[in-house]
Structure 1
Amino acid sequence: MTKFIIEKDFWELFPDTQIGIVLAKGIDNTGESSAEVKDMLAKANQESRKFLQEPIFSENPVVSVWRQAYRKFKTKKGARSSIENLMKRVEKGKEVGSINPLVDIYNTMSLTYGLPAGGEDIDSFAGNLRLTQAQGGEKFIALGDEEPDNALAGEIAYLDDEGAVCRCWNWRDGQRTMLTENTKNAFLIIECVDSSRTDELREAIEKLAELTVAHLGGRAELAIITKENPELSLD
């Protein structure tokens, strides 16, 4: 049985974190996004400006809460949360564009709710997927890179038996487990470190599941991972 496990050393740093999971099984991610999905993403780009009310970018809550989180563990210099990276593009007027249907759907949810979101191909995992502190040296080649950029000791990362899946918590995904047109079974995730936003997290994860099935078929299983319930079967 393959599992997703958030380990003790993570909870010691972030005891109140809640992480929403959608297991999307039997989906069809081939081809480019439909006009409807592209339109949803375009609208989400515009609507996400509601999260940028402060004149200083880093003082906007959706950014600052993750800046504070990233100070609690070892990171590569310049690493920022995925939601900060998206919001920085929005601030600069550089719209988050279409990649593939599933990525477009989770980016739509990320922009709509101001929460980090991501996804991986379940069938590419080597053993269990773990969110934990890296020992250092776990193999990793980021999307778009040609050379390895392995994990640092003490870094919070998603790991499996073959190496790092996503570095610096939700900063950068790796090539080995990326979502592609061949993905049939996907691990989708939305993360929340702000305990005041748990209702929004649940709404976001439910909407993510709904949109994924509506546009890509298959079926979806939902879960919220907490310190009290730190494991989920991926089978």
Structure 2
Amino acid sequence: MSAGGSYDMGVHFCREILGTEPPDALGGYEWFTIGGKKMSSSKGIGSSAKEVSQILPPDVFRFLLVRTPIKTHLDFDPVGNTIPNLFDDYDRCLEAYFLKLENKMPKDKAGEVTADYARILELSEVNPLPKTRLYIPRFRTVVNLIKSKNNDLVAFFETQKKNKLNSEEKVILEERIKYARIYLEKYSQEKLDSAKTEKFSPSELQKKFTVQLINQLDILKNKTNKEQIQQAIFESIRQTDIKPREAFTVFYQKLIDKSFGPKASDLIQQLGVEKVIELLSGDREVAITKTTHLFPTLNKPEIFSIDKLVAEKYPSINIGIAVIKNINIKKTDSNLTDEINRFVSEQSHLSNEIISSYPEVITYRKLYKEMGIDWHSRRPSPEALLRRISQKKDLYQINTCVDAYNLVVMKNRVSVGAFDYDKFHFPTMMRYPLEREEIFLLGDKEPTKFKPKELAYFDQLGGYNIDFNYRDAQRTAVTENTKDILLNIDGVFDITREKVEKSMLESINIILKYCGGKVEYSGIVSATEN
């Protein structure tokens, strides 16, 4: 609050004129800025209430304010993807509200998060909230349909719903159409792109992705099937090991000369597979490099092995193993913190929808389902970390070892775990739990009983990690007193040996960078060669 501002004047009026104490300022507030500039009526920066109402519906604008913690800086820049992302967040909280109405709240931690989302939505109420679940047309989809000149949005969303829209749902759709047109006219990314004259030039990795996508589309059995087309896109991303954002950038630039567009599978359906192949074919001549392994196959059953039953059930398992000794772990390191913060700042686009589309996340969810684990309540570690970023929550700071390899986990979306080597009773093994076996997980007060199909790491004293590095046991936890560590990296199904090796190399390098030490040995234990 600035001296001589509205609150200061209000205090004066209350005490000197009305003879009463002013309302509590709740410790003050942070600035609400527009595009990084403080709102100031005297300087002409910011928006009037009327102007803001022309950008966002009242309930969505109130949601923007309510979801932001008190005394937290709020910068609202309507240009680019800010508005579509805001609607996505609003819809996510609206879904939580519907779950609350239906008494279908998840249990444990997931239930707490859902309850928080529902409460944010309730506090954002301007008009009365619906009393039953409604079908909500996604704002981003409305924008894309308007851009593609689809004039019958009601028919489109009724097809999506597989039923007629009721009167309330039509009102919501009409409102979103109104604000989508305003967004496209004034604030969309296309407005920014139209000012750019530099010709797009794909990277070598993007060229490889386009070639891979051409090949995947070319072998489709049903070239009009949306699910097969979508799977071809994800498979191309997985095979190329490219970030989805980079893949979709070259995809849209090649097809419609823009950096983004309608849903990829919808665009391919609209243009036709043969036309898409023709537009992408300029990068067919990409050189194919021969795959070589970064690490040798490790044959040290006295240290680690995969149980025969597990290997037979999951022949695709590849586990990276490394032992690093004489390390020096500290509580924090400012350079590491800066490196993590840079990564987080680059993820402003991240949403739960994007996270759910990552092939690695899909892979771990598939494994969890086969193990009888509900991945809604036990999130695989890459997903759990990335979801904290998408929800604007701070990452946990443990120590320089754990924080370092967690950065690699977030970048590559492959699970990594480190354990105090000197606390083990070797050999260790990945196996199924025996009946009545339990594990005392880090942070818990009571032991957790294993499920029969759970994959877990064991030494001769019992389990020390469950569900591919979902959580660790207390007794082998890495602390500032740890001097030697055992590192493992988890690969299965579409998380190939190559991906495991990449994550292991980066994990080793970043641990050596911030903790020192020396690698005693490292390698890959594969189920097929165990």
TM (normalized to structure 2)? 0.40
One of 107, 119, 127 as aligned partner of 2:426:
127
Match of 1:209 in 2: 508
Match of 2:378 in 1: 79
Shift of 1:139: 3.1
> What SS does the aligned partner of 1:158 have?
strand
Contact 2:351 2:390 in 1 (8 A): no
One of 407, 424, 429 as aligned partner of 1:108:
407
Shift of 1:13: 2.5
> What SS does the aligned partner of 2:506 have?
helix
> What SS does the aligned partner of 1:225 have?
strand
Match of 1:64 in 2: 362
> What SS does the aligned partner of 1:126 have?
coil
RMSD of aligned alpha carbons: 2.4
Match of 2:396 in 1: 97
Match of 1:222 in 2: 522
Q: Report which stretch shifted further, 40-49 or 185-194.
A: 40-49
Shift of 1:42: 2.2
Letter in 1 for 2:371: F
**Structure 2 Cα separation of the partners of residues 149 and 47 of structure 1:** 37
Letter in 2 for 1:217: G
Shift of 1:114: 1.1
Q: Report which stretch shifted further, 188-197 or 140-149.
A: 188-197
1:40-92 deviation digits (Å, cap 9, x = unpaired): 22233344678x57737534323211111112224378333211211221221
Spell out structure 1 runs of 4+ moving beyond 6 A: none
**Structure 2 Cα separation of the partners of residues 219 and 56 of structure 1:** 37
Match of 1:233 in 2: none
1:174-218 deviation digits (Å, cap 9, x = unpaired): 101100111111011222224465433322211211222222222
Q: Does 1:159 align with 2:455?
A: no
Q: Once the two structures are aligned, what percentage of the paired residues are identical? A: 28
Contact 2:318 2:490 in 1 (8 A): yes
Shift of 1:147: 1.1
**Structure 1 Cα separation of the partners of residues 419 and 399 of structure 2:** 13
**Structure 2 Cα separation of the partners of residues 116 and 17 of structure 1:** 13
**Structure 2 Cα separation of the partners of residues 44 and 195 of structure 1:** 25
**Structure 2 Cα separation of the partners of residues 200 and 62 of structure 1:** 10
Q: Does 1:189 align with 2:488?
A: yes
Contact 1:27 1:216 in 2 (8 A): yes
TM (normalized to structure 1)? 0.86
**Structure 1 Cα separation of the partners of residues 411 and 355 of structure 2:** 18
**Structure 1 Cα separation of the partners of residues 380 and 495 of structure 2:** 19
**Structure 1 Cα separation of the partners of residues 345 and 496 of structure 2:** 21
Shift of 1:95: 3.3
Letter in 1 for 2:326: G
> What SS does the aligned partner of 1:55 have?
helix
Quick check: which has more Rg, 1 or 2? 2
Letter in 1 for 2:440: I
Letter in 2 for 1:192: G
Contact 1:206 1:222 in 2 (8 A): no
Task: Identify which of structures 1 and 2 has the higher relative contact order when contacts are C-alpha pairs closer than 8 Å and 6+ apart.
Answer: 1
**Structure 2 Cα separation of the partners of residues 126 and 53 of structure 1:** 42
Tell me the number of residue pairs that the alignment of Structure 1 and Structure 2 aligns.
Answer: 228
**Structure 1 Cα separation of the partners of residues 462 and 495 of structure 2:** 33
Q: Does 1:42 align with 2:346?
A: no
> What SS does the aligned partner of 2:366 have?
helix
Letter in 2 for 1:144: G
Shift of 1:126: 2.3
> What SS does the aligned partner of 1:27 have?
coil
The structure richer in strand per residue is 1
- Unaligned segments of structure 2, at least 5 residues: 1-300
Q: 1:24 to 1:44 in 2, by over 3 A?
A: farther
- Unaligned segments of structure 1, at least 5 residues: 231-235
Q: Does 1:19 align with 2:319?
A: yes
**Structure 1 Cα separation of the partners of residues 430 and 357 of structure 2:** 27
**Structure 1 Cα separation of the partners of residues 307 and 347 of structure 2:** 32
Contact 1:140 1:150 in 2 (8 A): yes
**Structure 2 Cα separation of the partners of residues 57 and 104 of structure 1:** 20
Q: Does 1:28 align with 2:360?
A: no
Match of 2:121 in 1: none
**Structure 2 Cα separation of the partners of residues 178 and 76 of structure 1:** 25
**Structure 1 Cα separation of the partners of residues 433 and 478 of structure 2:** 23
